[in-house]
Structure 1
Amino acid sequence: MTSTEMTVGDLIDLLSACDPNAPVRQAMNPFFPMAHRLAQVLQSVDETGRTVVYLAEGRGEDAQLGHLPPEVAVALTWQGPVQAPPRRTRRRVSGN
């Protein structure tokens, strides 16, 4: 059986390329992208008996940090790149 789920080994490989002192955050909800602090890593067993690891957000008021940076939402393909509308020439008041 081929799994498309990320494994703990995959996560460790991806994290090994990151700054070890950087805080870990979780990006959630592609329709309203928000950033959350991670507080716990929990290992459990799912309904099929397979070991699963959960990354849990904190419970405090400061667990949700606010909107996900736009470049992160674009990189995750949750949003398309947004460009500023083209500038129009300003109209002048007659006589100037």
Structure 2
Amino acid sequence: MESTEMTVGDLIDRLSACDHSAPVRHAMNPFFAMAHRLEQVVQVADETGQAVVYLAEGWSEDTQLGHLPHEVAVQLAWQAPVQAPPRRPRRTAGGK
């Protein structure tokens, strides 16, 4: 059975088409989509002895950048291309 995991070579190929001066971010959790700065690349052997590379965020307080931009979530197919309409202000207890 052929692996469907992205390899380091696949990642290099995809990144080579990008602007080399652009910062690298990590999009996480499609149900509560957040953006994170990448700070570390670690290679280890898994339980079968195969090399695995992990991309990780750092420890600093500003590692999590906030909500993932809507355009990114759409391209990842994590959100629909149409956003919900803005909410109207709530009425106060006097009907005003």
Q: Does 1:21 align with 2:31?
A: no
Equivalent position amino acid for 1:14 in 2: R
Distance 1:83 1:28, change over 3 A: closer
If the length of structure 1 is used for normalisation, what is the TM-score? 0.84
Question: Alignment partner of 1:54: what SS?
Answer: strand
CA distance in 2, matches of 1:83, 1:22: 27
- State the 1:48 CA deviation: 1.6
Equivalent position amino acid for 1:37 in 2: R
Which blocks of at least 5 consecutive residues in structure 2 are unaligned? 86-96
Question: Alignment partner of 1:42: what SS?
Answer: strand
CA distance in 1, matches of 2:76, 2:42: 24
CA distance in 2, matches of 1:45, 1:69: 34
Would you say how many aligned residue pairs link Structure 1 and Structure 2?
A: 85
Which blocks of at least 5 consecutive residues in structure 1 are unaligned? 86-96
Equivalent position amino acid for 1:72 in 2: V
CA distance in 1, matches of 2:29, 2:84: 24
Alignment of 1:1-96 (within 5 A): 1-83=1-83, 85=85
- State the 1:84 CA deviation: 5.8
Bigger radius of gyration among the two: 1
C-alpha distance after superposition, 1:41-72 (max 9, x if no partner): 00001112110000000111000000100010
C-alpha distance after superposition, 1:11-63 (max 9, x if no partner): 00000000000000000000000000000000001112110000000111000
CA distance in 1, matches of 2:84, 2:3: 41
Aligned structure 1 segments of 4 or more residues deviating by more than 6 angstroms:
none
